[in-house]
Each structure stands twice: as C-alpha cells, then as structure tokens.
Amino acid sequence: MRSSFIVLAALLFALTPALAQTCPATCRLPTCYCASNAAPGGLTRAETPQFVLVTFDDAIQARLEDQALKPVFAGVTNPGGRPAHRTYFAQAFNTDPAVAKAVVEAGHEIANHTHTHTTGIATDGAEWRRQLDGLERFFRDTVGVDASQIVGFRAPYLATNDAMWEELRRRGVLYESSLAELADGPFSAGIGRFVWPHTLDFGAQTACVAAKCPSAPLPGVWSVPMWVLYNEEGRKVGEMDPQQTPVYTADSTALYTMLRYNFDAHYTGNRAPLALYLHAGRVRRNDHAIAAFRRFLREVANQPDVWLVTMKGLVYWMQHPVPASQMAAWFDGGGERGALAATASEATERPTTPGTLRLWPNPSSSGQVHTSAHAPVEVYDLTGRRVAEAMPMGDMLDLSAVAPGAYLVRSGTERTLWVRR
Ligand SMILES: [Zn+2]
C-alpha cells in the first residue's frame, strides 16, 4: 500500500507542482484531509498564515518553566500583542500540579505523553490504555483539567507500535504527533514544500523511517508531522532538540541562522507549519540555545501573518481554515480553543461552554437565536468590520439581517463565533 503511494507521489511530482493523494470525494473537512503540500481551504500562499509550533515533552516543573520555557518565550507575542501559546506533551510522573495549573491557566495546551513515560515498542494494548488513562486521571484529579481538553498524543521515545495505534483509534484522539517527516517524504518536495497535517483515514502518509506506522487507517485522527529541520547544506538536523546538534551546542548565532533558514523556506514556500520540538530539560542551563530560540521567535512572531499557536489550535484551524487577514478575529473568538469548530457544528440546544457568550441554535437559518447575553450584542465579520448591533428581548436575539457566514459576536467582554446559514 505504502510503496504504491510513493510511486504515485513520484509520478504526481513529475506531472504537477502540487503533491496530493488521490483523494476520494468523501474525504472532506472538517473530519478528513488527504496528505498534500497544499494549504487547506484553497488558500493561496499570501492568504495562508505561517504557523510556528513550539512543543515541550515530559514533566512540567518549576525549574524547567523558570530556567527554560519562560526565558525562551520572554517578549514573544502574536500579532497585536496577543499571547503566544505552546503545547506540553506531558507525563504525569514528576509533574508539579501547581505549575501545570499555571501553565493551563496561561492558555497553553496539555497533550498526552503517558503517565510514567515507560512505554515502548513492546508495550501491549492494556498497558497503553493504563498509561493514557493515568495521564488523564492525574490532570483531572490534581490539576483540574478535564480529559476532554487533552486531545493530542505523542509516543514516549517516539516508540510507536500497532497496539498504540489501536488504542488511539479506540479513544478517538483528535491528533497524534510522533511521525518524523523528511523533506523528501512521499508528500513533501523539499523544505519549502512540506506535507501539511492530514488525517490518517488512508493510513500513514509519511515514510516512517524510524517509527512503526499504523497498519490500518485511523479515520478522523490527524497526523501532525514532526517536520525535520535541515541545515543550509541540506543535511538533516533532526526533528527534536536542534540545540543538541554539536555545531549548535555552543553557538547561538549558528543555531539562530539555521532556524531562520528553515523559517524562510517555509514562509516563501507553501507555508506548511514550522515546529520547534524541544525537551525543556535539554534547553535549561544552555544559554546559547535560550538566546537563539528567543531571538528567532521574537523576530518571526513580529510579522503580522505569523502565529504561534498550540498544536490543537493548528488542528482546529486545519478543520476550519481562515485566511491570514482574519486570524486576529479567529484568535480573539477562541478559534485556538476550538470555538469555531464548536459553533460550526450543529448545536440545536443551549451550549454549555462556560465563560463565553452563548448563541443557539447554531448554525441558524432564520437568524433568530437564543442568547445568554443581557447587554447589547455586536456582530463583526471576520475582517473585523461591524455588521450589526442588536438588543436581546428576553433570551431572544434577532440577527436575521445578518448575511449567511461566520461572525465574531460580542456582548460586553464576552465573545463567541457564530454561523448563520
Ligand atoms: Zn518524552
């Protein structure tokens, strides 16, 4: 199966600049996306936001926050001064609940990296389940994070096996991120044309050089590749901890230059996301690495179309892509937390998301909706233009004058995204 994909990919590359799987018409967003080096939603390069992901694996501890993560992110913000978020592939063992709570409250993402980080290629299904359940239980009981918020997974040591893939399928995780993607992978064509995240409806679409790819499809489960970094000579730096490569361990400028080289290739190429996949314990006490990462992130995050989001935020965007010009509204409306996904799906009853403005049913064909608002409601399109204002009558709101589409709705300090059919 896989070799036929590779042959097909090579053939397609010869014929057309865009690599794409022969994708059945039934594969449609938001639940299915074929492996491709084209951005979702038919966005052109200029319309495509450049996402930069930063993830940290293993335990969450005060000394790692204070001596690695906070210094790396010091002064790093998204456009308009909005906060820049990161993803923690967390293990429960040795994680400090109070520190983890602060991390979650700051808007960062917790993903599942197992309870004790002891799994490997020989781990059976029952143990994978214990390990994944254990992590969820730890965060629920000691940190106060519901399991529904933990939607991503990375295998410890990137050691995958079929029992693991089966458990991910059984649980219905939103995404997994354990598979390295090389610049010459089946659906990539150089570091400026890397494959985008895709669902595993048709099995793995990466070369699976080191990892064990799934033997069967995982419908609806997103694969966020571990895009490999390359140096200026075209040699592989690696998919994790580039600061560990000998030429960069004591040379901040060289590390920065390599990162910038990769970013420029992505940004001027197809804008597939760029990722820094790190271990905080390997960044801590390395002032060269901290300086290089901070300089790099500050510099790129200063561009209006570059966004540092959580990995689940990226997947939510893949499901409901918006152009770079609408990213501020997407971010403010909770798109990174899945708000657009939630409002875009059929919600005929009162939604329960606490702390946000509520409108239902959603989508609404008539424009007459129920609302939790008691103050005037303003409706903005995704370019930020105010298109309507309305006052709730009881719990009813008349937005029938608003044209079909997606909107950011605001009442006082509360916001939500709303879809009119
Ligand atoms: Zn790990």
Q: How many A from CA of 396 to the centre of ligand 1?
A: 50
Q: Are 373 and 411 in contact (CB under 8 A)?
A: yes
Cα maximum dimension of the chain: 66
Going from the Cα of 143 to the center of ligand 1, the distance in angstroms, rounded, reads 20
Tell me if the pTM is above 0.85.
Answer: no
Residues 6+ apart with CB under 8 A from 204: 2, 179, 213, 214, 223
Residue 59 Cα to ligand 1 midpoint, Å, equals 8
256 Cα–ligand 1 center, Å: 24
Q: Determine the straight-line distance between the first and last CA of the chain, rounded to whole angstroms.
A: 41
Q: Would the pLDDT of 185 be above 60?
A: yes
Residue 290 parent element (H or E)? helix 287-301
> Ligand 1 center to residue 58 CA distance, Å?
5
Q: Can you list the positions of beta strands (E) in 364-413?
A: 368-371, 377-381, 386-390, 396-398, 405-411
Give distance in angstroms: CA of 222 to centre of ligand 1.
Answer: 20
Q: Give the Å distance between the CA of 157 and the centre of ligand 1.
A: 6
The model's pLDDT over 238-260, given as tens digits with 9 standing for 90+, comes to: 899 999 999 999 999 999 999 99
Q: How remote is the CA of residue 357 from the centroid of ligand 1, in Å?
A: 38
Please report where in the chains the tokens 């994708």 appear, as a residue: 23
- Compute, in angstroms, the gap from residue 113 CA to the centroid of ligand 1: 7
Query: Using CA atoms, how far apart are residues 89 and 226, in angstroms rounded to an integer?
Result: 13
Work out whether the CA dihedral 25, 27, 29, 35 comes out positive or negative. Answer: negative
User: Could you tell me if 53 and 75 are in contact, meaning their C-beta atoms sit under 8 angstroms apart?
Assistant: no
pLDDT 10s digits, 264-321: 999 999 999 999 999 999 999 999 999 999 999 999 998 999 999 999 999 999 998 8
φ and ψ of 153, to 5 deg: -150, 140
Question: Can you list the domains of the chain with their CATH numbers?
Answer: 2-319 (3.20.20.370), 346-420 (2.60.40)
How much is the pLDDT for 146?
A: 94
Q: Mean pLDDT score of the chain, rounded to an integer?
A: 89
117 alpha carbon – ligand 1 mean position (Å): 6
Q: How confident is the model at residue 41 (pLDDT cuts 50, 70, 90)?
A: confident
Ligand 1 centre distance from Cα of residue 366 (Å): 50
DSSP 8-state symbol, 42: G
Kindly indicate the confidence band of residue 342, based on its pLDDT and cuts at 50, 70 and 90.
low
CA of residue 24 to ligand 1 center, whole Å: 36
- Cα 127 to averaged position of ligand 1 atoms, centre (Å): 17
Closest by CA position to 329, among listed 35, 79, 103: 79
| 388 pLDDT higher than 80 | yes
